[in-house]
Each structure stands twice: as structure tokens, then as C-alpha cells.
Structure 1
Amino acid sequence: MQFTAILKKQKISIHHPRKDQCDICSGFKVGTIDDEEYRNHIKRKDDARVAKRAAKESANSEKLVITMDLQSVLVCPKTNASSMYYKQKLQVHNFTIYELNKGDVHLYVWHEANGGVSSNEFTSCIADYISKISNSYKHVVLISDGCNYQNRNKVLASTLSDLAKTKSIVIEQLFLAKGHTMMEADSVHATLEQYFKPPINSPADYIARMRLARSKQPYNVNVIHYGFFLKYDDLNTNLSSLRPGKKRAIQLLLTFVK
């Protein structure tokens, strides 16, 4: 008690990291990562942040800039009863899109009985969002982490290519460096966590609290049914790989060896 009183008097608090620490930065501190790898990592981090800042500042009536991320798994039911920890729970997913232009937020929410967390689900959400944006936007920048099944795969890239042609717009993806993916979408998740205090008995409880989380500029909550998701990976994708040059080089090498 005395220790806590002194900390309060001196206005000192103990910082608890909200996110996992970067593996490379942590490895460098303990000596398992060499200087060159660490310097390249920091350069990629700084370059990505500069690009993100430039994209944010360039947002205007014709250029839409968004950040997007999946919130940590929400379990349902959520109670303070210790025995419930060992019970089977339903997983609820919240994919968040934050518009840097005006601060509008779009939440795509579903539970595991309606969909999983494959490229199909995230491509369906992003395609639905872009298809509904104002026709005044001629350029869209998507800022996210480099998670493969969410944002960095040929399924999403092919769909975005088709959308760009259909809407006659430019769609650009910006990936932040792994371990340093602080985005405005994360602030939405931090706000929501304050409203997700137990008890929560059903997915509907999560959804109701999401709609109450920001009174001045409410979140746009899209409750997703299984019929919403399309199997984009079964469609004929116009991109066979995100790195066609490397894949082509491998094919030529195999041909040469044969």
C-alpha cells in the first residue's frame, strides 16, 4: 500500500504493453539477431511509417485512405465464473475498417458458425466495403499488417484488381512492418474492450455494445450471415501469385534442370 501511495504521489505508473513485442527487436536485445538483419528491419519499419503518414496526409475527397485489422478473438459466453473457462465457447470475429478521411468506422462481425478466418471471409468484407464507397473516390489506399490469410494473398489481390477495373479506380495496398503495425483501427479495438466486460451471454451482446461504443460518431456494425461470404479462392483468379517474377524464375530453373 505504501509503495502504491508513493507511485501515485509521484505520478508514476507501470506501463503494460498492449500488444506483443516485435520478435526481431526482442531477439536483437538478447543477441540472437545480428546487426545487419536488425538494421534492415528498422529501415523497413521506418519506410512503412513514412509511407503511412504520407498516405494519411494525402487523403481528400478523391482519395480514400483506410486502416484495417482483425480484433483478437472474442469468446462467448464471457463470464467471471472460473468454471466457464473450461467450457466450450463460441468464437466471435470483428474485422475493423477505419476511414482516415473522416474517422468513420465499419465493423464486420460474425461468429464461427457463420464463417471462419480464411482469405474468403476477409476478401468478402473488403470487397463489400469498396463496392459501396462513394463514386467520388478515384483512389483507395488500404493500410494493414502483412498477415497472409487476411491481407497479403492472391485471392484478395485478384479481387481488388477486378474491383479496380469495375469501378475505374486505383486500389493500393500498404503493408506495415511485422511487429510495428500500430494503426487507427487498433484504437477502435481498445475502445471496444472497455465495453466488453462480463457477463456476455451471446454474440448479440457484443453487437449491442459495439453500437453503443461511440455515441458522437457511432460505428457502422455489419452483422454477417454465412450467405454473405463468397468462395473467392474457387473463382478464376487473374493473379497466379503475388510474386510472379520469382515463381517464373523457379519454373524456368526447373525447365532448365529437366
Structure 2
Amino acid sequence: MRKDKERQGRTQISQGLNFVKEFLDRLPKMPSHYCRKDTHKLYLEPMFQSYADIYREYSSVCEAESKTKMSRTVFVGELKASNISIFVPRKDQCDLCCEFSQGNADETEYNQHRERKEYAQTEKAKDKEAYGHDGRTKVLCVDVRRVLLASCLKASALYYKTKLQVHNYTVFDMTSKDVVCFVWNEVHVEGGLNASEFASCLVSYLEGSVDSFDKAIIYSDGCTYQNRNRVLATALRFFCVRYGKTVEQKILERGHTQMEDDSVHATIVRRLKNMDIFAPLDYVNLIKVSRMSPRPYDVRYLTFDFFRDFEKIEEGAIKSIKPSKEANVTNICAFT
């Protein structure tokens, strides 16, 4: 009798663990936007804000489906073992600085890192000051915000439904404070995000204001598939040759990429709080009214025919941006 009870108990635990895995498999996930090159973690959509939130949902599903419910400790342990997180990593969280603060990083490497960080931020401040009233030089910062989801509703039953990923590429003019947001959803691109999509947005912005400047200085983070790649370099070269302009691209130090356009994202997030999104166009309307002063954001909703494939350019194409033949050399901080 005792052995039967022990066997039954082991069976229940096994079934309970299997259902935890099944429950986690049901949840829609997405890769980290900022750190996809550095981590294989998957992140739950932003409906859940804490372990308590997701465990509460798990408990209600167990009750509804008459499943054995495991303890919160076991549940969270399985969540971590599955490499799933509810916390989206911040792009400005510096791994090296965190390691140094804990005594796990080389001091020489850390000091060089700090020097690069301070140099990059000082360079940006100098450009803003030097060209702020120049009239013929644009100082811009560009970034693509974290992935938005459509629909995005507060009803928990809709969490399990497939959603469209919506992207917002932002161009911020540091002098005029004008902002252009290029918004599109995954339906209008093939094979996922790639460098040509971001290059298309930036070149379109430059072409739209080509008569108002002779030189553009563009600041960005060092995300490889967005900003530090030969496709974008080729696209900017294509623009410069075609229109007789000068473009400088400057890349901030990893982990310290705070830029003026961060305020755009923060404003949109505040506006989005407690609002329901039913379709991608709802984001367009929301972003338009997120700022009133000095001017509303200029929002451009893109479809598939907007994007250009700069990878197919052959004449004048840049074959490589690496300053060295050594593997893994990507510490490029500027292009002209």
C-alpha cells in the first residue's frame, strides 16, 4: 500500500512537471530585441510583470483544466531552466560595468571602456554645440524601439493568441527636436528584420530633407544588424554619391548608448499605459498624439513596397567594414 502511494505521488509530480512545460510552451515568446546576438533567452510578452503574475495565470489554468499544480518554487525553477524570462534586458545595462562593480572584470579593460564611453558622449555634446545653429548640418540620433505587439489587450484569455510584431524606427533631430517615426509590421517584410529595412528608413529620411542640409552626423548604438554593417554603409554611400552630401555615422560605446530619442520611447510608453491596441494602425494614431510640444511626432506607416534591398547594390557597394582581418573585430566607432 505504501509503495502504491509513493508510486502515485511520483506519477503526480511527473505529470505536474510535464504540465508546467506544456503551459510554458503555450505562451507566446520573442527574442530579446537589444541582445539577440548575445543571448539565447526568450522573453514573455509584456502582459506579465512579475513571477507572481505568471504563477497566478498558471494556477488558474491548472484549476480550469484539473491539473496537478506545482509549487511556485518548482514553477519558477522550470521557467529559468527553460531559459525563459519575464524581464526584457535594458539596452543601457552595461555588462562590463556590472562585472567590474562585482570585482570580476580587468581594471585596465574597464578603464579603457570608460574612456571610450566618455569620449563618445563628449563627441556628441560637441557636435550638438558646434552645429546646433549651423543651419546646414543635421545632428541626428536613430534607434529602433523595442518590439510592439498587436493586438495588445488587457484580457488574459487573449494572451495565447498569435500577435503581429510592430516596429518603430525613430529619427530624432537634436537641433530642431523634430521626430520621425517609421512604423511597420512583420507582414510587410520577408524573413524577419534585416539591415536593408533600417537602411531604407534612414535613407528615406535623408532624401526627404535633402535640400535642408549639406552634412549629416548620425549617432546610434552599435547593434550590428541595425547600424554597424556593410549594408547600411553601402546605403549611406549611395545617398552621398547621388546627392553630393556628406554623412558621418558615429557609434556610442556599448552599454552607454543613452540618446535623446530615448525620450520618444518613454513618452510613447506612458501614453500606451492602460490602453488597448487592436491593430497596428492603433499604434500609429497613439504615437501621433503622444507629444504635442514643440510639434507632434511625424509618423509614417510603411508597407512592403517602401523597403529597398541595398544588399543587391553592386556598383560602389562596400564589401566589408571590418578594420582588420582578425575574427570578431567589430569595435568600429565611426564611418564617414
The code of the aligned residue for 2:103 comes to G
Q: What's the offset of the Cα at 1:187?
A: 0.3
TM-score of the two chains, using structure 1 as the length reference: 0.85
Task: Say whether residues 1:28 and 2:100 are aligned partners.
Answer: yes
Superposed, which structure 2 residues align to 1:198-237 within 5 Å?
198-216=275-293, 217-236=295-314
Q: What CA distance in whole angstroms lies between the structure 2 residues aligned with 1:38 and 1:54?
A: 24
Equivalent position of 1:105 in the other structure: 179
Note the alpha carbon deviations across 1:58-95, whole angstroms, 9 max, x for none.
Answer: 22201100011011100111111223222211110000
Note the alpha carbon deviations across 1:135-178, whole angstroms, 9 max, x for none.
Answer: 24111000000111111111110111121122211100110011
Superposed, which structure 2 residues align to 1:106-185 within 5 Å?
106-115=180-189, 116-185=192-261
**Contact kept in structure 1, 2:288 and 2:299, CA below 8 Å:** yes
Equivalent position of 2:7 in the other structure: none
Note the alpha carbon deviations across 1:47-68, whole angstroms, 9 max, x for none.
Answer: 1001111111122201100011
Superposed, which structure 2 residues align to 1:40-55 within 5 Å?
40-55=112-127
Note the alpha carbon deviations across 1:228-254, whole angstroms, 9 max, x for none.
Answer: 1111112215211112x523x89xxxx
Equivalent position of 1:12 in the other structure: none
1:87 aligned to 142, 149, 161, which one?
Answer: 161
> Which is worse superposed, 17-26 or 224-233?
17-26
Whichever of the two has the greater Rg, that structure is: 2
The code of the aligned residue for 2:142 comes to M
The size of the alignment, in residue pairs, is 232
Equivalent position of 2:321 in the other structure: 242
SS in 1 for 2:181: strand
TM-score of the two chains, using structure 2 as the length reference: 0.66
The code of the aligned residue for 1:209 comes to L
Q: What CA distance in whole angstroms lies between the structure 1 residues aligned with 2:237 and 2:200?
A: 14
**Contact kept in structure 1, 2:91 and 2:257, CA below 8 Å:** no
Equivalent position of 1:11 in the other structure: none
The code of the aligned residue for 1:137 comes to F
The code of the aligned residue for 1:105 comes to V
Identity of aligned residues (%): 38
Q: What CA distance in whole angstroms lies between the structure 1 residues aligned with 2:148 and 2:321?
A: 31
Q: What CA distance in whole angstroms lies between the structure 2 residues aligned with 1:41 and 1:19?
A: 16
Root-mean-square deviation (CA), in Å?
1.8
5+ residue gaps, structure 2, are: 1-88, 328-336
> Which is worse superposed, 62-71 or 229-238?
229-238
Q: What CA distance in whole angstroms lies between the structure 2 residues aligned with 1:146 and 1:234?
A: 23
Q: What's the offset of the Cα at 1:134?
A: 4.0
5+ residue gaps, structure 1, are: 1-16, 251-258
The code of the aligned residue for 2:98 comes to S
SS in 2 for 1:31: coil
List, as ranges, runs of 4+ consecutive aligned residues in structure 1 with deviation greater than 4 Å. 17-20
